[in-house]
Amino acid sequence: MKEKVVEAIGLKKSFGDLHVLKGVDLDLHRGETVVILGKSGAGKSVFIKIMVGLLTQDSGVMRVLGQDVEKLKTKALNALRLKIGFSFQNSALYDSMTVKENLEFPLVRNIKNLSRKEKDLKIEEMLDSVGLPQTINQMPSELSGGQKKRIGVARTLILNPEIMLYDEPTAGLDPITCMDINNLINEVQERYRTSSIVITHDLTCAKVTGDRMAVLLDGQFRSKGSFQEVFSKAEDEQVKSFYDYNFIES
Amino acid sequence: MAEEADDRKPLLSKKIDKFFKGLADAWNFVRRYFQEVFMPPFEFKELIHQCYRIGVESLPLISLTGFIVGIVFTNQSRPSLSEFGASSWLPSLISIAVVRAMGPLVTALIAAGKVGSSIGAEIGSMKVTEQIDAMEVSATNPFKFLVVTRVTATTIMIPLLVMYTDFVALMGSFLNVNANEMVSLTTFFFQVFESITFLDIWSSVLKSILFGFTIGIVGCYKGYNSTKGTEGVGRAANSAVVISMFLIFIEELLALQIVNAIRNM
Ligand SMILES: Nc1ncnc2c1ncn2[C@@H]1O[C@H](COP(=O)(O)OP(=O)(O)OP(=O)(O)O)[C@@H](O)[C@H]1O
Ligand SMILES: [Mg+2]
């Protein structure tokens, strides 16, 4: 069995009387991609936000790269965050900065003594790897949704993270762009040897990118396993309907 | 249990609860500013950028308003002074009014409208589109990068802008006085500097620092705490302006009391 890079044990989280996570467990092993599926509002984003310390759980343990996230002090937490790439649901590009400045931001603030040339090279490499070298001087407002997503991914990749978290990378995109993004996720996986968590509603994306699936329903992971295991013999009605509706729609 | 108790509370007491919670929240925000402003690393580049932005944003409007206030105030004061045959006192009267009250107040109110709202809207939209979270996960302290720089920038820039407004308003006044009473520039400014005291200048500067801090901190606080959605951003910008204007007037009143007390000592 490979080393666990993420280990969630009995995680609970509520907002007021809204119980979002009711004790979830999940392991992510080095080099694999786990896909988290689930309805809107199921708590998928909340789950990965706990992983980087943007939210804190009410109870349970979240261990990332062997460290208990909740117990980390600011400095150690920041050091851990640099090893995690977080691609936000709505890209979260800094809209007062150009694409170049967006990519530069994590770079110059976290790696000291970087020459201008090294910096530019790194930025070019990242833009090439997401296939958008021509956008370098554009503002985020001039990009399409799919382009924004890819620049967002480039910005998180620039620090060579060990773990990549993709929050709905294909939501709201046409099928062809979706496929581009799926391929990008797989390419990143191969080229940079990351371990990834992909959150999605999109079963094609899940099938293409994921080694394992986990379905989040009613605050718990109801079904885990390979795509075949989860969906071909799904006994759970809700898991099944997830599959059915997805394919009727597409 | 706690929720049940909360449900049974009458509406008014809930509102009062909310008010004091908000107050405590705001107080913590201010405290956090003072904790982080002196702690390295310092974001000098962003601070300079913000200072520049504040200057550029408010300069045109402040120039125009200051100038017009100078002219109009001089013109309107003339009749009452000439009734006592004292129109030669116009420069003294105007300089005292401008330096003590109008310069700081006009500048602060305009900056609250232009700068305060733009800070509120900017930080608010960064909040709701998760840009602040993105900063945090790339190991940058967003409070330091966004809030500390902006509040410090307004605190530095508003006093400078106030001096500029004072100057522009006095120039406006001079043009009017020059046209009507044929007073030369040197005579005008000689009279101006004769009538304003050190206390006037110091209190004006200190007051402006307070106004600047208020505009920055209210804009940032409202933006940083704006709730989900684009509607929240608009509301943040709007209430940033309303609240900072309200606070500026209160501060002006308090400053007036304090300065008068000192003057009478
Ligand atoms: N900071 C917060 N404060 C209060 N409630 C929150 C907060 N973050 C999330 N929630 C609530 O938690 C629930 C789960 O949110 P989450 O964003 O994790 O959903 P999701 O599974 O990612 O859905 P989607 O697919 O729409 O992104 C939602 O009902 C949301 O309103
Ligand atoms: Mg989500």
Task: Report domain extents, chain B.
Answer: 43-263
Q: Whose CA is nearest to atom 3 of ligand 1?
A: A15
Does residue A46 line the site of ligand 1, with CB under 6 A? yes
- The DSSP line for B141-193 is -HIIIIIIHHHHHHHHHHHHHHHHHHHHHHHHHHHHHHHHH---HHHHHHHHH
pLDDT of A250 > 50? The answer is no
Does residue A172 line the site of ligand 1, with CB under 6 A? no
Instruction: Name chain B contacts of A82, Cβ cutoff 8 Å.
Output: 138-139
Q: Do B138 and A54 touch (CB under 8 A)?
A: no
pLDDT of B9 > 80? The answer is no
Which band of pLDDT confidence, cut at 50, 70 and 90, is reported for residue A131?
confident
User: Is residue A250 in some structural domain?
Assistant: no
pLDDT mean across residues, chain A: 88
A145-157 and A99-110 helices, crossing angle to 10°: 20
pLDDT in tens, B216-257: 999 999 999 988 778 889 999 999 999 999 999 999 999 999
CA–CA dist B34, B144 (Å, integer): 11
Q: Which domain holds residue A17?
A: 4-244
B11-37 and B149-181 helices, crossing angle to 10°: 90
Mean pLDDT along residues B163-173: 96
**For ligand 1, what atom is nearest to the CA of residue A43?**
18
Interface test with A, best of B138, B141, B143 (most A CBs within 10 A): B138
Q: Which of residues 102-131 of B touch A (CB under 8 A)?
A: 122, 125-126, 129-131
- Ramachandran bin of A247, using left for φ above 0, alpha for ψ from -120 to 50, beta for the remaining angles: alpha
Q: What is the reported pLDDT for B254?
A: 95
B218: CA distance to ligand 1 center in Å? 28
pLDDT in tens, B103-116: 999 999 999 999 99
How far does chain A reach from its first CA to its final CA, in angstroms?
Answer: 36
Q: Do B138 and A159 touch (CB under 8 A)?
A: yes
**CA nearest neighbour of A216 among A22, A13, A60, A18:** A22
CA–CA dist B119, B110 (Å, integer): 14
pLDDT of A76 > 90? The answer is yes
| B103-B109-B113-B116 Cα dihedral, nearest 10 degrees | 90
User: Is residue A237 in some structural domain?
Assistant: yes
User: What single-letter amino acid sits at B159?
Assistant: P
Mean pLDDT along residues A132-155: 92
Cβ atoms of B203 and B217 within 8 Å: the answer is: no
Q: What is the reported pLDDT for B1?
A: 43
Mean pLDDT along residues B10-38: 91
Mean pLDDT along residues B149-156: 97
Q: What is the CATH number of the domain that holds A137?
A: 3.40.50.300
ipTM score over 0.95, yes or no: no
Does residue A41 line the site of ligand 1, with CB under 6 A? yes
Tokens 């991914």 — which residue? A153
Which band of pLDDT confidence, cut at 50, 70 and 90, is reported for residue B6?
low
pLDDT mean across residues, chain B: 92
Cβ atoms of A214 and A26 within 8 Å: the answer is: yes
Looking only at the bridges linking them, the beta strands covering A163-167 and A195-200 are parallel
Does residue A38 line the site of ligand 1, with CB under 6 A? yes
Q: What is the reported pLDDT for A247?
A: 61
Give, in degrees to the nearest 5, the angle at Cα B154 between B151 and B157: 150
Cβ atoms of A210 and A35 within 8 Å: the answer is: yes
pLDDT in tens, B118-131: 999 999 999 999 99
Cβ atoms of B95 and B196 within 8 Å: the answer is: yes
Q: In terms of pLDDT, which residue wins out, A171 or A107?
A: A107
Which band of pLDDT confidence, cut at 50, 70 and 90, is reported for residue A47?
very high
User: Is residue A11 in some structural domain?
Assistant: yes
Cβ atoms of A46 and A14 within 8 Å: the answer is: no
Could you tell me if B185 lies within 8 Å of chain A, comparing CB atoms? no
Determine what percent of chain B falls in helix, strand and coil, rounding each to the nearest 5.
90, 0, 10
Neighbours of ion ligand 2 (CB under 5 A): A 45, 89
Mean pLDDT along residues A63-76: 92
Q: What is the reported pLDDT for A1?
A: 61
User: Is residue A156 in some structural domain?
Assistant: yes
User: Is residue A249 in some structural domain?
Assistant: no
Q: What is the reported pLDDT for B57?
A: 87
